[in-house]
C-alpha cells in the first residue's frame, strides 16, 4: 500500500477562463470538499479550436454545485482524460482538483474493480462479478490517490463528502490522514444484502473503508440496514438500530433518496421551443395513438430487453397493431470498451430489428431505437411527447429518469410504468408498478398504463408530482449535510 503523506506545499491554480495562474496557500484551503470519480465539468472545444470547461449534466452535479459555490468549496475528481497531469483550476466559483488516472488505472480500477466487480455484485449479480486481485490492487491504489488529494486541499475541520461505489475506501484512508475532518459518504447505487455481499473476497476492507465516515448515506432504508448488519457480522462491531459503534466514535447510516431539480425541469418544459419540439416528435412518429418512451444508459441492469419483449408480445398477441403504439427507446452509450456491453448492444439491436421485421409496416416501425445521447432540451421534449414513460430496471439505486418525467408532466396526462426494483418505487407509489422479470405481467400492466383514463392518469400523476416537487435535489443535499454537520439523528427509515 502506498504511504500517504500530509500536504505541506502550496497549490497551483489555473483559471479555466483566462489562463491566469494563482497560488493558493494552505490558509486558503477549502472548508467544504466533494470527492467523486469525475469532476463536475467536461472539456469542450470551441469553433476557434480553443478548449474550455463546461458544467457536466446530471443530478449529482446539479445538486452539489450550488452548495459548492455558496461555500467556495473544492471538488476532487478525474478530469476525463487518461495520462494527463493538470494543476488545480477554478471554474464557476469552485476549486477543481484533478486526480491523474493512467490508461491502466481506467482499465483496472474503473472498468475492472468498480464496474466488473462491484457494479454487478451490488446489482443482485445480474451479471457475474469478476474477482481478481489485480483489479482490487488497482482500486486500493486509486482510492489512495483520491484520499491524498483530498487531504491536501481540505482546511482544518473541513466537511468532506465522498461520492459513490468507486471510492469506498477513501473515508478510512482520509481519516487516517486527517482525523480532524468531518467525513460523509453517499452510495448512489444499491447496497446488497448479506447473501450477496459476503461473496466479495475484500468484504471487510470495503466495510472498514466506509466506516471511516461519520455518516454513510444510502438511497433506501434497505441499503442502510444491510450496511449496519454487515458491519456487525464481518467487522465484529456493536450496532444499535442505524448506528455502528467503534472504539472512539459512532458511525451513522441513513436513507437519503436523491431527487431532481424539479423547478428547473418545470421551467424547461414550459418554454415554447420545447413544447413545439414535443409536438414535432409525435408528428415524426406518425401521430400514433400512444407513444411509449424509455431513456436509459445502455446497461444490463436497466431491463431494456425485457421491456421491449413485453411490448413486442402485445403485437404478437394481436392486442396491438401497427399504428396503435410506438416505442421510443434511447440507450445512451456506456462502457463501450467492455465486451459485455458490446454484446448487450448487439443483442438489443437484433431484438429491435426482429420486432420491426415481424410487426412494422413500411415507414412505420413499432420500435424506434437510438444508441446516442440527447441534450437536456431534447429529453424534456421527449418526456412531453410520451404518453407512457417506461422505467423498468432489474435493479436500480434510484433512477432519476422516473422523477424527471413526473416533474415534466404538469399537464397530469402521462403514465409512469415503474419497476418495483427501482429505488424510486419507494416514493412514487402511484406509478404503474411492475416486476420486470415477469414479462406477461409487464405487458398487461403496460397495456393498462396505455389505456388509463384521463382521470386516473391525473390522480396518479398529481400524487407523484407532489412528492418530487417537495423532495427535490436541493432538499436531498441539505438533509444529508445537516445530518453530517450537526448532531441530529437520522433514522434508517427516513425518506
CA-nearest of 165, 209, 159 to 187 is 165
Query: What would the pLDDT profile of 265-312 be if each residue is shown by its tens digit?
Result: 999 999 999 999 999 999 999 999 999 999 999 999 999 999 999 999
CA-nearest of 377, 401, 388 to 277 is 377
Query: What would the pLDDT profile of 197-239 be if each residue is shown by its tens digit?
Result: 999 999 999 999 999 999 999 999 999 999 999 999 999 999 9
Same domain, 228 and 313: no
Same domain, 182 and 330: no
- How many domains does the chain fold into? 2
Same domain, 246 and 277: no
pTM equals 0.91
The upper half-sphere exposure of residue 243, i.e. CA atoms within 13 Å in the direction of its Cβ, equals 9
pLDDT-based confidence at 59, cuts 50/70/90? low
Same domain, 252 and 266: no
CATH of the domain at 356: 3.40.50.2000
- Residue 163's contacts (CB-CB under 8 Å, 6 or more residues apart) are 34, 35, 36, 37, 60, 185, 186, 188
Q: Is residue 5 part of a domain?
A: no
Catalytic residues: 188, 396
Please, what is the end-to-end C-alpha distance for the chain in angstroms? Answer: 38
pLDDT-based confidence at 14, cuts 50/70/90? very low
Query: What would the pLDDT profile of 88-146 be if each residue is shown by its tens digit?
Result: 998 877 899 999 999 999 999 999 999 999 999 999 999 999 999 999 999 999 999 99
Q: Is residue 465 part of a domain?
A: yes
Q: At what angle do helices 203-210 and 221-234 cross, to 10 degrees?
A: 120
List the domain range (segments joined by +) for residue 142: 11-258+475-485
Residue labelled with grid coordinates 486509486: 142
Query: What would the pLDDT profile of 176-199 be if each residue is shown by its tens digit?
Result: 999 999 999 999 999 999 999 999
Burial 92-118 (b: 16+ CB within 10 A, else e): eebbbbbbbbeeebbbbbbbbbbbbbb
Amino acid at each position: 500500500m502506498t504511504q500517504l503523506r500530509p500536504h505541506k506545499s502550496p497549490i497551483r491554480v489555473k483559471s479555466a477562463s483566462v489562463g491566469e495562474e494563482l497560488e493558493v496557500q494552505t490558509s486558503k484551503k477549502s472548508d467544504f470538499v466533494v470527492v467523486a470519480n469525475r469532476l463536475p465539468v467536461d472539456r469542450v472545444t470551441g469553433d476557434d479550436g480553443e478548449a474550455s470547461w463546461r458544467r457536466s449534466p446530471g443530478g449529482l452535479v446539479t445538486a452539489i454545485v450550488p452548495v459548492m459555490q455558496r461555500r467556495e468549496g473544492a471538488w476532487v475528481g478525474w478530469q476525463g482524460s487518461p495520462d494527463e497531469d493538470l494543476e488545480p483550476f477554478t471554474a464557476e466559483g469552485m476549486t477543481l482538483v484533478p486526480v491523474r488516472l493512467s490508461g491502466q488505472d481506467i482499465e483496472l480500477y474503473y472498468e475492472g474493480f468498480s464496474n466488473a466487480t462491484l457494479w454487478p455484485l451490488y446489482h443482485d449479480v445480474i451479471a457475474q462479478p469478476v474477482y481478481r486481485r489485480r483489479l482490487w490492487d488497482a482500486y486500493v491504489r486509486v482510492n489512495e490517490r483520491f484520499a491524498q488529494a483530498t487531504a491536501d486541499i481540505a482546511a482544518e475541520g473541513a466537511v468532506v463528502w465522498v461520492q459513490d461505489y468507486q471510492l469506498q475506501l477513501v473515508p478510512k484512508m482520509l481519516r487516517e490522514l486527517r482525523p480532524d475532518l468531518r467525513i460523509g459518504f453517499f452510495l448512489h447505487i444499491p447496497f446488497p444484502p448479506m447473501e450477496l455481499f459476503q461473496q466479495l473476497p475484500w468484504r471487510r476492507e470495503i466495510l472498514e473503508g466506509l466506516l471511516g465516515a461519520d455518516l454513510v448515506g444510502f438511497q433506501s432504508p434497505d441499503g442502510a440496514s444491510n450496511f449496519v448488519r454487515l458491519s456487525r457480522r464481518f467487522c465484529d462491531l456493536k450496532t444499535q438500530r442505524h448506528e455502528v459503534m467503534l472504539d472512539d466514535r459512532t458511525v451513522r447510516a441513513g436513507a437519503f433518496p436523491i431527487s431532481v431539480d424539479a423547478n428547473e425541469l418545470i421551467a424547461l418544459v414550459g418554454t415554447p421551443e420545447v413544447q413545439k419540439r414535443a409536438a414535432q416528435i409525435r408528428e415524426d412518429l406518425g401521430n400514433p395513438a400512444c407513444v411509449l418512451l424509455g431513456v436509459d444508459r445502455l446497461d444490463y441492469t436497466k431491463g431494456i430487453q425485457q421491456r421491449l419483449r413485453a411490448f413486442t408480445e402485445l403485437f404478437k398477441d394481436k392486442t396491438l397493431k401497427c399504428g396503435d403504439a410506438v416505442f421510443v427507446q434511447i440507450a445512451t452509450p456506456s462502457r463501450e470498451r467492455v465486451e459485455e456491453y458490446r454484446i448487450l448492444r448487439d443483442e438489443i439491436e437484433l431484438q429491435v430489428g426482429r420486432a420491426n421485421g415481424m410487426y412494422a409496416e413500411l415507414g412505420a416501425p413499432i420500435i424506434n431505437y437510438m444508441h446516442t445521447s440527447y441534450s437536456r432540451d431534447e429529453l424534456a421534449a421527449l418526456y412531453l411527447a410520451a404518453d407512457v414513460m417506461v422505467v423498468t430496471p432489474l435493479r436500480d439505486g434510484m433512477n432519476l429518469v422516473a422523477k424527471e418525467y413526473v416533474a415534466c408532466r404538469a399537464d397530469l396526462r402521462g403514465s409512469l410504468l415503474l419497476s418495483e426494483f427501482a429505488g424510486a418505487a419507494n416514493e412514487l407509489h402511484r406509478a404503474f408498478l411492475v416486476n420486470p422479470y415477469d414479462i406477461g405481467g409487464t405487458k398487461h400492466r403496460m397495456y393498462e398504463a396505455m389505456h388509463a383514463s384521463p382521470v386516473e392518469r391525473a390522480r396518479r400523476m398529481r400524487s407523484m408530482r407532489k412528492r418530487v416537487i417537495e423532495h427535490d435535489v436541493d432538499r436531498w443535499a441539505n438533509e444529508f449535510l445537516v445530518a453530517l454537520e450537526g448532531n441530529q439523528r437520522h433514522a434508517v427509515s427516513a425518506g
